[in-house]
Structure 1
């Protein structure tokens, strides 16, 4: 009997995820389409000086967030049902749902952004997809969407292994870009119009506005750093989850800073801001010629395939875990013989398919979806940082408690700053995405036997504000006050 049990434990361990795959999952989930257009996106609103300030602020905020993930993962290994379980444990069932719904939305909306960027990069080689926002692009992206859906239904662990291989492959063009950029970097180009102000000197109001303009961009490129936490129940060792998150975040931060800073030292801000997509391809083309653009576009295609695979796993896992916690309807929790959440996958892919038609109604589908992702994921991250503050405050007084409390406060302030930096447009559109979620939550609670008193008085007020915000958003959309 003991021999059989031991064999079962060995077999179970073989399906667990180790430290290195968890690190590559963090990096693979975060490094995607965003990095290949990051220099252009930041240059559209900020000069080199403001970009440096932005990276200092974002670096502190994201590292603080990663430290929250690490601390909570190490201190509460029993909470292994994803980062939104912290919201439920700390602030109640509805908070847990809001966190889970926000995270689920952010991941599949990100896939819509990846789809348009992927088809745009393929358009460099195949003119039929040029621009990434036409009928052929929708057809091509749809085929890939359902292929990845099929792949993940064959087992999440297998897809994770493929992601590991793809992550290594896609880092090569980024590495080549950084090496070439180091040799091509010119300090005179980087310091030209350093602050981007009329006086060409530091002006607080102007630089502050420039820094704010980069927040949604930088939040978007870091979405996915919590990938190890989402798969924490599948990790071989619980401590690996926190370690993978910290190592992955620091690695990604260094790569992002190098890519943007080097770009500003190769081409001035005005040229970067008006480059075609993906910006990195045309920066490298300015250094080495045509082959550089082709090389980057090929790398971008691989990169998006890898991160799209990761982001096919994550929303499906989110739906599955949320269903197990009673936050989502039970339909999301059904799995096949491989343990893959087939219904959660199908629902998620269906939403992505529907939103792909935004390719035809907006000129900037990628930028719009990227901004929506950032706006909605801030809700989930804010619950994590608030829980870090609450949990740390409840611990006995000690030096470690003070440090963890300070980390939580810093991370929370950063998320609040990012939320207000998003602006009224995206925060109102955010309420539209949460309205369907209210009915999903009500259905889930009915399945749990709670048909009455589903919301507390405070929660009813929050729900009311969501509905009011959604009505305002619809009005502004109809009257063209808000443009998609």
Structure 2
């Protein structure tokens, strides 16, 4: 379970953290951003830990928590958003993988969205689908091997930077991003708050997967889920912070911001030569395939769990002889295929997938933390829980506040794009409710108003996209 959590978070994105973070912020703001994100995610992980203890019957809890606390539509929307965020995240892996392959086969995979990259990504997406169809055990063994293997290049990168090339003077210069730098073409970074906000979707992307043990909680006991979540969190946090800040002791913020992905490869090549770049790119490929495999498991798990209780149409509960949610996996793969085609027409494929994934997963995190708060407030918190009521209340409030801060940091433009994604799911919810609820109304009064509001927001967002008023979200 711990390796599952680590592999879900520790994907290929870690190899491009230096450029991703330096693009929006200087070292001081990056440290503050990691402090905020690290604490926020810690309390979110603690929320999962508490909920696994007090409500162990809610397996696949990332959506069941919202459903139990806020109704069927809320549960569906959380599940829908999480499901699509996983699918889009896999397409983000495809973009990074193609960039790594482009190092060995230039220029066919440049940017991750050439026609060659699109064909290769499509082949891998369906190949992983058929691999997972064969069963969880074999996929888990491959993931464990890949997880261990991808630590090697990252560890070597950190050792080379820290012990052989690190400059303390360079590390502490321009700490808050006030010095003009020609390498970034004199692009102003803005104030510290703006810099921190600019990194939030990056840090959120890196932590996506913290909930993976919860999603697979029907395959383990609550204590295992809890320990794996926290251990995985601590392991990856240390690595994320080190990989993002130590390069500032080798290059300036402007130089880091201008690098092509994966930026760790370019940094290591400048220090040890071409072999370092080769090793990092191989590490990226191993890391991405390993994490991609984990997320292929997860992408099918949630719709299957939702279908069993009527939140998704019943057909999603269909399994094959190996016990894999076959229909859910095929539909998920088809969605990823459509997203790969969308990426082909995008100017900035990686940032598009990163931003969309971060925005649509936020309600899943906020809903889980808010459910814990509701359980405590309603007086249903068990007296014999491992974590006291006051501590649990503090955990839930901080985790919810962190989620709302991320909504603010993401910005209105990406929240509008998220409304489009959620609105697309409403007909699926109607289908599921009509097929499982019999004569019961598909929408309650409040749910109907929520659905109308979502459709209006989605219509406004589509119009703004068509007229070019949301270039931050999508530009072809």
Alignment correspondent of 1:311: 295
Alignment correspondent of 1:55: 34
Question: Does structure 1 retain, via aligned residues, the 8 Å contact 2:360–2:418?
Answer: yes
Alignment correspondent of 2:150: 170
How far the C-alpha of 1:449 sits from its partner, in A, is: 2.6
SS state of the match for residue 276, structure 1?
coil
The range that moved more, 48-57 or 186-195, is 186-195
Alignment correspondent of 1:420: 408
Say how many residue pairs are matched.
459
Alignment correspondent of 1:145: 125
How far the C-alpha of 1:457 sits from its partner, in A, is: 2.2
SS state of the match for residue 417, structure 2?
helix
CA deviation digits over 1:344-378, x for unaligned, max 9? 11101001111111232112111110111000110
Question: Does structure 1 retain, via aligned residues, the 8 Å contact 2:111–2:349?
Answer: no
Of 330, 346, 349 in structure 1, the residue corresponding to residue 330 of structure 2 is 346
d(CA) in 2 for partners of 1:359, 1:98: 24
Check if 1:278 corresponds to 2:259: no
Alignment correspondent of 1:406: 394
Check if 1:85 corresponds to 2:73: no
The range that moved more, 385-394 or 163-172, is 385-394
The range that moved more, 206-215 or 278-287, is 278-287
Alignment of 1:333-482 (within 5 A): 333-393=317-377, 394=379, 395=381, 400-450=388-438, 452-482=440-470
Check if 1:231 corresponds to 2:231: no
For structure 2, the 5+ residue unaligned runs are 182-188
SS state of the match for residue 104, structure 2?
coil
Of 167, 171, 186 in structure 2, the residue corresponding to residue 186 of structure 1 is 167
Alignment of 1:249-288 (within 5 A): 249-288=233-272
CA deviation digits over 1:281-305, x for unaligned, max 9? 1111122121111111110001110
The range that moved more, 287-296 or 104-113, is 287-296
d(CA) in 1 for partners of 2:438, 2:257: 53
How far the C-alpha of 1:397 sits from its partner, in A, is: 8.0
How far the C-alpha of 1:158 sits from its partner, in A, is: 2.3
How far the C-alpha of 1:324 sits from its partner, in A, is: 0.8
Alignment of 1:1-150 (within 5 A): 22-127=1-106, 128-150=108-130
SS state of the match for residue 103, structure 2?
coil
Alignment correspondent of 2:226: 242
Question: Does structure 2 retain, via aligned residues, the 8 Å contact 1:445–1:451?
Answer: no
- Indicate the RMSD between aligned Cα atoms, in angstroms: 1.7
d(CA) in 1 for partners of 2:190, 2:247: 25
Check if 1:222 corresponds to 2:222: no
How far the C-alpha of 1:148 sits from its partner, in A, is: 0.4
SS state of the match for residue 370, structure 2?
helix
Question: Does structure 1 retain, via aligned residues, the 8 Å contact 2:40–2:399?
Answer: yes
d(CA) in 2 for partners of 1:131, 1:87: 37
User: Which ranges of 4 or more aligned residues in structure 1 deviate by more than 6 Å?
Assistant: 396-399
How far the C-alpha of 1:396 sits from its partner, in A, is: 6.6
Report the TM-score, using the length of structure 2 for normalisation: 0.93
CA deviation digits over 1:378-419, x for unaligned, max 9? 010000110121123323789811111001100000000001
The range that moved more, 312-321 or 462-471, is 462-471
